[in-house]
Structure formats: C-alpha cells, structure tokens
Amino acid sequence: MLKKLFKSFRSPLRRAARPRSTPEVLGSRQHPLNRNEISRHAISVVERLQKAGYQAYLVGGCVRDLLLDIDPKDFDVATSATPEQVRAEFRNARVIGRRFKLVHVHFGREIIEVATFRANHPQGEEEENSNQAARNESGRILRDNVYGTLEDDAQRRDFTINALYYDPTQEHILDYARGMHDVRNHLVRLIGDPEQRYLEDPVRMLRAVRFAAKLDFDIEKHSAEPIRRLAPMLRDIPSARLFDEVLKLFLAGYAEYTFDLLLEHDLFAQLFPASGEALKRNPEYTEKLIRQALINTDDRVHEGKSVTPAFLFAAMLWPALPARVLYLQGKGMPPIPAMQEAAHELITEQCQRIAVPKRFTIPIREIWDMQERLPRRSGKRADLLLENPRFRAGYDFLLLRELAGEDTGGLGEWWTEYQDANDSQRRQMIRDLAGKPEAAGNAPRKRRRNNNRRKRSDDGSAAAE
C-alpha cells in the first residue's frame, strides 16, 4: 500500500532521464546491402507496415549476416506497431509468446518474425512485476513487453552487431551502437554495462560465444571479462530454454570452436556438470572424445547430412559414465544392471540442467546399451545386432570411442569387416571367436544336460538305462 501511495507522488518525468542516441545513417553507397538479395516477403512486410503509418525496419542477424556475405537463415522486422496492430494488418499473422510477445507472419513455409520496439525496463521497484515487465531477485528479466521508441529498441538490444536497422525502401542503415565498426573489426560487443546485461539474461553469455564461433569474431575484452565470474548464473535458466540454446551452439556447423570458447569462459561445466567433472579426472580422453564427436557433427552439417542431438548428447555424457558404473559394481551390482542404473542417474541429473526430451534420451540409452552388446557376437547374436535399428549409431559410437584412445581389442575393425563380409565369411569370423571371452559375453554358456538320465543301482554304482 505504501509503495502505491509513494508512486502517486512521483513525477512521470522521472523516466525522461534515460539517454537518447542519434544514429549514424549509412546511405546505399556506404554499405553493400542490396534489396534484391533480401526475401521479398520480408520487404513486403516492412513496406506494408510503413504504408499503414508505422516505422518498420529489417533488423538484427539478417542485416549483420548480409553485411558479412552470409545467407541469413531468416528475416526479422522491428516496428513501432504493437503485436495487436501488426496482427490487424496481416490475415496470415499470429501473435506468439508470453515472456516476449512477437508476431509471426506466414508466407507458406517462410515465417517473417515481427517484434515491436522494446524499451529498457523501469528501474523503480514499484514498476516491476507488472504484466509488461518482471525481474527476479538477481535481476534476470522474466517478462519483457515494455514497448518504446526506435532509439529505446536499439539501446536495449544485446550486441552492437545486432543493433543495425535496414530500411529497404530508403536503402539506408541506421546504426545506433557503432555496430558497423564492430562488424568491420570482427568484434562481439555488448551494448551497455556487460555485467548488468548478463544479469538481466545470463543466456547472453552463451549468445556471445555462439556469435563469436559462428562469425569467427573475438569477444570484446570488456564483454568477455565478467563471463567466468557470472557463469554459474546459467543454473537459474529454465532447463527447456537451455536445451534450445545448446542445439544452436552445437548443431550449426561450428561446434568444435564453440566447445573451445565454452571451455575458455568456464561455461561448459555449467551446461554439462558431470562431463565437466570428467574433464578434471581424465582430461585427455574426455576432451578427445567430445572434440571428435563435435568434428564429426560439423562435417555432417557442412556436407548437408542430418545430425541427431541424441548422438551428440551421448558423446558429451559418455566420459562421465564409466566411473559411475565402476562405483555401482564396487557395491556388488552386476555389470549390465550397473550400466543401466548409472545411465539412468546420469541422464536424470543432466535433464535437470538441460531438458533433453524423451525422444532423445531413449536413443542415448540405446546407443550406450549397444556398447555392452557389441562385444557379444557368438552364435546368431552378431546377425541380430546388425538388424537392430540402433546398430549403426552404436557402431559409429564404438569407432568414436576407439578414436579417443579406448582399447576395445579391435572390436571396431571386426564389426567393419563383418558388415562387408558375405555369409560364409561371417560364419568363419564367428567360428574364429571361439574361446575368446568377448564372444560369449559375461561367462561361458553352461553345457546342456542330456535328457538320458543315469540310474543308480542299489550298491550306488552308475548303470546305463
């Protein structure tokens, strides 16, 4: 009640103290952008909003990527129109989001994302926790629907290279934060005080790493300095949001360099705590296995092949698994149940940090389970394993382990030859395994008892029936 009373006596002019900036305006001769390289649907959205009396610009990553001669994966529009006003202009539009309201304008498979100009959050406690804006105790933004002017929008964006506004009608760029300077100098720089911006949204630390890796930029020193200190704040981020961010980090074709930057800024252990511990216990093997998995992922992306998060997460977490299995075996649990229990515990713990969906956790466990089954090749087991839908992923994972330095007794080479062999060659390969421990699994099979039982005579001697 007292807060509401004091609020009524405060002047509405208090907000006017926020600084405003004048943009650098770059004409068509001062930048390489050509509207013919831009999605016609994105241009039509901008022009239609402008004709309706609103300000509208292409903004963010699409402008940045075009300046760097990179094909944008999508096109974003910033406008003075509210989401409801944008929706009224386009019958093919839909308002989405709660934390950050947006409008998606659909043109077949292409979606143009339209965001209303945002302003910085109000600083007074009495103005927080409204329907438009909310923060938690650490300053992290929980709701972000405070609308503002174009100047406000530029100042509240995260990085200078994302605060470039392109008007395809006039063909000029508005630069409010010296973003063109940083594009030319290959720098990722936060707008405003870096620590405050990370406190508002700790995911910006991951975004800084992602842009640096994707664009082959350096993180500007003042923007990089607080990251190691503030890295633990990622624990407060919803696990579902971190899953989306991790996919952006590792499935875009620059995963190995991303891994290096995450290690450099102490962010990797915040995303994968158990794997971070494994890096401390066995750094050479752990780093080699994860790095090779990321190299393979990058190669597949560059070749246009499909990649699955399940295999990647299986590799990320595998180095943390053996120690847990040995611990459970030390408590008297048999090998296979120990493997299953350790896998369950490890995945459950990881999902508390990164919400990996069940459609991926199940294949992860199946890939790991294959590592226990691949050595068991006697009889018809090898042929049955070849028919298993997870065989290929399990086999590829086996080769990955060998590349990282694991001694599997030539198991990977054996399976490579077995897949290429004809039927008679396969039978011989199985016969050659006779007497080898891996062929029979955990222990030799018991000899089947004969159905003809012996009878004993009255004096105790054995007699044939």
Closest among 249, 220, 251 to 234, alpha carbons compared: 249
How close are the terminal C-alpha atoms of the chain, in Å?
A: 101
Helix (H) or strand (E) holding 364: helix 358-373
Which residue is it, tokens 């807060």?
3
Nearest of 401, 395, 394 to residue 418 by alpha carbon: 395
Q: Would you mind telling me the total number of residues written for the chain in this entry?
A: 465
- Ramachandran angles phi, psi of 464, nearest 5°: -70, 145
Angle (CA) 312-439-442 rounded to 5° is 80
Q: Directed axis angle between helix 283-302 and helix 255-264, to 10°? A: 140
DSSP 171-230: TEEEESSSHHHHHHTTEE-BSS-HHHHHHH-THHHHHHHHHHHHHTPEEPHHHHTTHHHH
Residue type for 364, please? I
What are residue 152's phi and psi, to 5 degrees?
Answer: -60, -45
What is the DSSP-derived secondary structure letter of residue 118?
B
Kindly list the catalytic residues. Answer: 74, 76, 158
